[in-house]
Structure 1
Amino acid sequence: MTTTAPPRAAAAPPPPRPPSAGRRLGGLLLRWWRRLTAMRTAIVLLFLLALAAVPGSLLPQRSLSQNNVNQYFTDHPDLAPVLDRLYLFDVFSSPWFAAVYLLLFVSLIGCVVPRAAEHARALRTPPPPAPRNMLRLPDSAELTVPVPPAAALDVVEEELRVRRFRVVRRDGGRGPELSAEKGYLKETGNLVFHLSLLALLLGLAGGKLWGYEGSILVTEGQGFCNSFQQYDTYSAGPLVDSGDLSPLCVDLEQFTAEYEENLTAASFTADIRYGAPSAEGRPTTIGVNDPLRLDGDRVYVTGHGFSPTFTVTVPDGTTFSDLTVPFLPSDPQTLASQGALKLPDIPGQDEQLAIEGFLAPTGLLQGGVLTSVDPRPLAPQVAVVAYQGYLGLDSGLPQSVYSLDGSQIERGRLSEVGSANLSVGESLELPDGTRITFSGVKEFAALQYSHDPGQLWVLAAAIALLAGLLGMLLLRRERVFARAEPGGERGGTVLTLASLTRGGGESGGRSTALLDDLQGALTTAAPARTASEPEVPPRD
């Protein structure tokens, strides 16, 4: 008796080795890269960028007006520090805004560049072969035509090439067939749209990094040079240095404002002379919608007002003439304006002199109060209040050049020494013998100097973006297939047609029109083909 040993159980296969840390990290990075470069991610980032720009339009920004930011801190002492820690007063230079901007760049580049390469390959690829069962396509038909198969396909090819289809003929298993395709410009428009969006963002970023602008009030007969030290307010990109500014000076020779009968402004024009600092300037005229255009630079007229001229004579006979200072309009309808003239250095006097005034281009006294009834300087008058004392200009604290420091008046460092309503030529004499004469008014223009190196880039990108969008919306991708088979006992040729359209709405009407044209062309071609065939004599 023999016994057999039970079969041994098969050894279990060793467990697979886990992937290395490098492969796991590579796979994780690949998955995140695919998510980042997906089109849906680019759309979400574009929406976040627009959403992130909302606080920049609702809250004052340091790059535009530091005074408005300071006023917001004064009005909201508890909320403002919290917003400041979140960079909401520097939105467009904040780290989180830059992060969204850069992620959008990376997403668009990673999304569009592979699609562009794939589209370039598709342009060189012939249309696909005709499907086996063409009648299953939604737009299909079967015709019996009295011409040979090759001649029928010749007629179809001619009609399709007239419609700018790209046509390929093949020998299929069921007979000669034809494949045609057009509408690649739709995908081209899609790529142009996204590439133009990327170029637009790059142009805007370049303009912010290397661009700058400054604003200044220039009175007739005066001028300025392109320098941050001369501007009233300015903003510059982080990559701009004072030595990068264009060497240009602008002199305002005359400003002209025209008004309608209802006293609304009709046009503002400024006669200026511009050129290099050491060269003789060239004359030109600019307006609100007609700026001075140079290579990458623009000089705009953004507003206007009046600058009263005073003559101050101190007791020792010293005269300060042609003291002109811009007054800021407080009423845009009548251009009633307010301003201040400061004289910190008067020879022979320890006290400083200041004049605070209200200018009425066309003055009228109503109950002893001076008001303006017309924006044109028909009868200019000025209400002045003179102060003597300490102005606080050397205290280290900033103060506006268009108004006096109210704290100096409250502390008694500036004391009122006289007031009067003056017409042109009239004077106010102070107790110490100082005489203040209102000599007249000149007009000033608010000019803005702007340098944006990305302007032409942004314009070209915007035009290309619009062209790509029109291509996306108006064009459609179409494919047409045709197969010609012998008619058998029926004779002639059985021509099977099918079309497939992607985008652009319903395609039934276009397919029906194409079939009607093909049928008409085949009907016309049949007699010609029959007439060209040689006559065969009858058999006995």
Structure 2
Amino acid sequence: MSTVAPPRPAAAPPPSSPARPSAVRRLGGFLLRQWRRLTAMRTAIVLLFLLALAAIPGSLLPQRSLSQANVQQYFADHPTLAPVLDDLFLFDVFSSPWFAAVYLLLFVSLIGCVLPRALEHARALRTPPPPAPRRLTRLPDSARLDTTLPAGAALDAVEEELRVRRYRVVRRERGGVAELSAEKGLLKETGNLVFHLALVALLLGLAGGKLWGYEGSILVTEGDRFCNSFQQYDTYSAGALVDSGDLSPVCVGLEDFRAEYEENLTAASFTADITYGAPGEEGSPEVIGVNDPLRVDGDRVYVTGHGFSPRFTVTLPDGRTFADVSAPFLPVEQSTMSSEGALKLPDLGAGSDDQLALQGFFAPTGLVQDDILTSIDPRPLAPQVAVVAFQGYLGLDSGLPQSVYSLDQSQIERGRLTEVARGNLSVGESLDLPDGTTVTFDGYSEFAALQFSHDPGQVWVLGAAIAVLAGLLGMLLLRRERVFARADTDPATGGTVLDVGALTRGSGDGAPRFAALTDDLRAVLASRDPARADRAPSGSASSTGGTSA
């Protein structure tokens, strides 16, 4: 007889280990924590400080977008330090990657911080005031008023007084006891949100002005005219989204320039008579100054400086004459307007490769001491010019860029330009060169340094700045206040006991305002109580301090 073995008991499952969070969950938690840190108001303040700190090098060091010549001069003066600063983008601060990173992080932080608060504030505007605390005497300001009016009539008086003071009022009844809740000052949080949203709009306006804006600078001599084309400007910078076809078709001509000085020879005003209009038109007259630019179709033309352009007549040995040739001389000393410059004449020789250049020093009111010309007055009372004449090869067709306001020193060092004569000239005097060429100083014309600017974000920035100021005033001047009242029957007298309490949030002491409210309530309750209208109110009031509910 065979037997069947009993079945083996099933093996017990191993004890389950706690589920470990997946890598995706850990990554999501990490990103959520970083997002909360980034959108915290503390982070926004730190980023705003970093943005201001990052802008400091842009104001201390020359920027390529403003003056390429100043950057080149800085490289010449600091050959060791300048390349290091250039590797850190300190000559292009406002277009550098690290400045853009701080800028974008500030945008994200502000938007991520303000938008949830704005949604929460929108819900708060629709939410009625909270119920009154159970013990009003624990509020920072509280008082107890006695009256013979019914509880409903007493609360009616309180409600009327609070509505006159622009409170939102809600009546409730809990446990058979009538109570009242009121609040005002929600506009304080509105001002806070307006301030931060306007700050975001301000940053957007500045960014838009940089992306779609442009500006160019040019020296214009009296009688000359320029059109708004990047090819004509001495220095030109434009946003990343600006195309050459986006420039406004405006031409500006300088008819006359006037500089006025105080008795101590400091500049009082610079004014320029100009004409402006579309290309091919005669133009409309206008007078502009340093703080009074020309505004047309969103563009602005500023006067940023002035100087002098000496005029010369060059007579060649064969009798040919080139009259009224000139070039702007840049001021090297603003107090006396002494200026330096160069006049390049590459096409004077007939059948010869020799070219002529004049390097000079102009003094509006000249004084010669030991054959050295200096200027003693910024006004052109006795104009003189010190001239050094060079002949040879100027290198204008070499393909290498060179300044129009100075000679290429490398040509002089290589002997391609040779000094042939020098002298100090007053108006009408001449300098004779060895080959028979005569250079005559005819006088001067004044030039104005004009800047043409287009900033489409200017109006946006102005509106955002006004909104920032309005929001800041709302934050500083308004207070968040809540008032609660509860009316119950006094079993001892059969009258009504009115408990009133107030809570003020933010800066400011609410005790004086609460005392004024209770005084007005006593007067109103007394006036509505015929039994006590003819005598002073006998209700007791007490102000107590405690923790906020």
TM range (shorter): over 0.9
Question: Which residue in 2 is equivalent to 1:119?
Answer: 121
**Separation (CA, whole Å) in 2 of partners of 1:79 and 1:432:** 47
CA contact (8 A) 2:527 2:533 kept: no
CA contact (8 A) 1:144 1:495 kept: yes
Runs of 5+ unmatched residues, structure 1 = 1-9, 532-540
Question: Which residue in 2 is equivalent to 1:536?
Answer: none
Instruction: Compute the TM-score of the two structures, normalised by the length of structure 2.
Output: 0.91
**Separation (CA, whole Å) in 2 of partners of 1:66 and 1:303:** 18
Shift of 1:182: 0.4
Instruction: Describe the SS at the equivalent of 1:217.
Output: strand
Shift of 1:104: 1.1
The CA RMSD measured in Å over matched residues stands at 2.0
**Separation (CA, whole Å) in 1 of partners of 2:301 and 2:67:** 20
Instruction: Describe the SS at the equivalent of 2:162.
Output: helix
Shift of 1:136: 0.8
Q: Deviations over 1:355-380 (max 9, x none)?
A: 11111112222333222222222221
**Separation (CA, whole Å) in 2 of partners of 1:362 and 1:87:** 43
- 1:118-517 aligned at under 5 Å gives the runs 118-348=120-350, 349-517=352-520
CA contact (8 A) 2:312 2:442 kept: yes
**Separation (CA, whole Å) in 2 of partners of 1:239 and 1:59:** 26
Q: Deviations over 1:175-227 (max 9, x none)?
A: 21111110011000000010011011111111111111111111100011111
**Separation (CA, whole Å) in 2 of partners of 1:327 and 1:156:** 80
Shift of 1:13: 5.7
Shift of 1:174: 4.9
CA contact (8 A) 1:176 1:485 kept: yes
476-485 vs 498-507, greater mean Cα deviation:
498-507
Runs of 5+ unmatched residues, structure 2 = 1-11, 535-549
Question: Which residue in 1 is equivalent to 2:3?
Answer: none
CA contact (8 A) 1:171 1:177 kept: yes
Question: Which residue in 1 is equivalent to 2:91?
Answer: 89
Shift of 1:80: 2.8
Instruction: Describe the SS at the equivalent of 2:241.
Output: coil
Identity of counterpart residues, as a percentage?
A: 77
For 1:411, give the aligned amino acid.
R
Instruction: Describe the SS at the equivalent of 2:462.
Output: helix
CA contact (8 A) 1:311 1:321 kept: yes
**Separation (CA, whole Å) in 1 of partners of 2:60 and 2:443:** 41
* Structure 1 residue runs of 4 or more that deviate by more than 4 Å after TM superposition: 10-13, 528-531
**Separation (CA, whole Å) in 1 of partners of 2:17 and 2:513:** 61
Instruction: Describe the SS at the equivalent of 2:529.
Output: helix
**Separation (CA, whole Å) in 2 of partners of 1:11 and 1:496:** 67
For 1:181, give the aligned amino acid.
E
Instruction: Describe the SS at the equivalent of 2:29.
Output: helix
Shift of 1:530: 7.6
- 1:19-34 aligned at under 5 Å gives the runs 19-34=21-36
Shift of 1:291: 0.4
CA contact (8 A) 1:147 1:529 kept: no
User: How many equivalent residue pairs?
Assistant: 524
Compared CA separation, residues 529 and 173, structure 1 to 2 (3 A): farther
CA contact (8 A) 1:181 1:479 kept: yes
Shift of 1:259: 1.5
Question: Which residue in 1 is equivalent to 2:547?
Answer: none
For 2:268, give the aligned amino acid.
A
For 2:485, give the aligned amino acid.
A
Instruction: Describe the SS at the equivalent of 1:178.
Output: strand
Instruction: Compute the TM-score of the two structures, normalised by the length of structure 1.
Output: 0.93
**Separation (CA, whole Å) in 2 of partners of 1:84 and 1:529:** 86
**Separation (CA, whole Å) in 2 of partners of 1:214 and 1:528:** 84
